[in-house]
Amino acid sequence: MRKKIISTILAASMAASMLTACQSSKPATETAATETAATTATEAVRETEAKTEAAGTTTAAETEAAGEETYKIGIVTPTLTVSEDEFRAAAEMVQKYPDLVVHKTLPENFATDKEGCISVVTSLADDPEMKYIIFDNGMEGIIPAFQTIREKRPDIVTMVSCNDDPKLLNEYVDIAISTDWNRRGETIPTKAHNMGAKTFIHYSFPTHMASESKSVRRDIMKATCEKLGMEFVEITTPDPQTGNGPAAMLQFLQEDIPRQIEKYGPDTNIFGTNCPMYDVILDEAFDKKFIVAEQCCPTPTQAYPTVLNLEITEDDLGDYDKINSMITEKAAEAGMTGRLSGWAMPSSVYIPKFKIELAKYMHENNLKPEDVLSKEFLDNFSKEYMPTAADFAIAGEGLDHYYMLILEDVYY
């Protein structure tokens, strides 16, 4: 029960669309930050259970009965062709817990077929054995599904990651979890500074900067650089979502990055807001030896396999430890040790798996959402039950059911 589960993820997407926004020093097996001993995590989990039992809501017999009760965890994701990470994360959990996890997929035209999406989610509640329903897709308009479930099956615990209004999520969903993209506006420059960067270059284009989340993150990056004494340089590339597509943007980067490194020197961190940028950024980094503290989507499968010609088999696709080790070896060969970093795995794979493990733990220990909704519990649960640790933060004032995370760093 208390055994730390370290699972292998079967696959993650190794490339992002050229037209879509997205929102490494040490061996890959070493991570930055998490110094808390495993016993601390265990004690925190036990403390939560002890409080619950002391309150008279859980007895040993009830916990044993909950563990033996037949129940199901339902998860809804996009299809494989729409979003590989979430789909494969759910598929792996079905393989891991075949009698427990039920996986359903949304219509491929989910953006326009909201009624179809709602129907897929609510259909899970028709199964009397269903006790948890999990949703993972960056869409808006799915809240009515969870309003229906709460009215129809108030016994079901819902866990959701989507782009609906945080206040509505907090009201109609038991547990909401998402990646904390804005907080990265502080953590990325801070990490770059710790890695030796004196200059921080931010590449983007007009349609990206029209996005509030990206402009807010840029502003936080600038303020953090000023606080740390780093020079912040903002450069606008040709816009891949207008005009000539991504080719002009990539050509610009190939020509401009060498100019900037000649001007500011190799103790410069380069960040781009668009995934395809990293085919050029990382290729130039291995040549010019500048710092890349984190990609826009920080995962070992973004650009690294292509740029470094990594030989990754079908069986290796989700073996992030192995892929991170490959990158570490290449970095050492190129004299880039300590100049590259990211997250050990994609958050889009991590979050669906985390929620399923959490649902299973809650049921086996007869815990309610209020028993697990704290930074201390979620942080420690991630350390004990997931392959890499997460740092949770409440999403905002009054959003006590909504938490956002960033993942532990890996250095190459």
Domain 31-180+347-411, classified CATH 3.40.50.10470, yes or no: no
Tens of pLDDT, residue by residue over 318-346, are 899 999 999 999 999 999 999 999 999 99
Q: Say what the pLDDT of residue 64 is.
A: 55
In this prediction, residue 316 carries a pLDDT of: 85
Q: How far apart are CA 105 and CA 124, in angstroms?
A: 11
Q: What is the pLDDT of residue 58?
A: 47
pLDDT tens, 59-74?
Answer: 455 545 555 679 999 9
For residue 164, how many other CB atoms are within 10 A of its CB?
18
Give the span between the Cα atoms of 370 and 178, in whole angstroms.
18
**91 — phi, psi (to 5°)?**
-60, -40
pLDDT score of 318 = 82
Of 271, 201, 276, nearest to 246 by C-alpha is 276
pLDDT at 314: 82
**Res 14: pLDDT:** 39
In which band, very low, low, confident or very high, does the pLDDT at 213 lie, cut at 50, 70 and 90? Answer: very high
Say which DSSP state 124 is in. G
User: Which residue intervals of the chain bear CATH 3.40.50.11390?
Assistant: 184-343
Q: Is 243 exposed, middle or buried (0-12, 13-18, 19+ CB in 10 A)?
A: exposed
| Strand-strand pairing, 101-105 and 72-77 | parallel
Determine the pLDDT at residue 393: 98
Domain with CATH 3.40.50.11400 in the chain: 31-180+347-411
Range scoring the smallest mean pLDDT among 8-17, 233-242, 245-254, 307-316: 8-17
| Rg, the chain, Cα only | 22
Q: Cα dist. 177→45, 312, 352 in Å?
A: 19, 31, 9
For 90, 158, 324, 338, 386, the CA distances from 351, given in Å and listed in that order, are 10, 14, 20, 28, 10
pLDDT(239) > 50: yes
**Other CB atoms within 10 A of residue 391 CB:** 18
278-325 tens-digit pLDDT: 999 999 999 999 999 999 999 999 999 999 999 988 888 889 999 999
Give the pLDDT of residue 5.
Answer: 36
Would you say how long the chain is, in residues?
Answer: 412
User: Which pLDDT does position 8 carry in this prediction?
Assistant: 36
Predicted local distance difference test score (pLDDT) of residue 66: 53
Bigger pLDDT: 302 or 200?
Answer: 200
The pLDDT of residue 69 is: 76
State the alpha helices, DSSP H only, in 156-240: 166-172, 184-194, 206-209, 212-228
Which CA distances in Å does 61 have to 27, 47, 65, 144, 364? 46, 19, 6, 37, 12
User: Rounded to 5 degrees, what are φ and ψ at 197?
Assistant: -75, 140
| CATH code for the part of the protein at 184-343 | 3.40.50.11390
Q: Rounded mean pLDDT of the chain?
A: 87
Q: Return the C-alpha torsion angle 6, 10, 13, 14, nearest 10.
A: 90
**Confidence (pLDDT) at 178:** 97
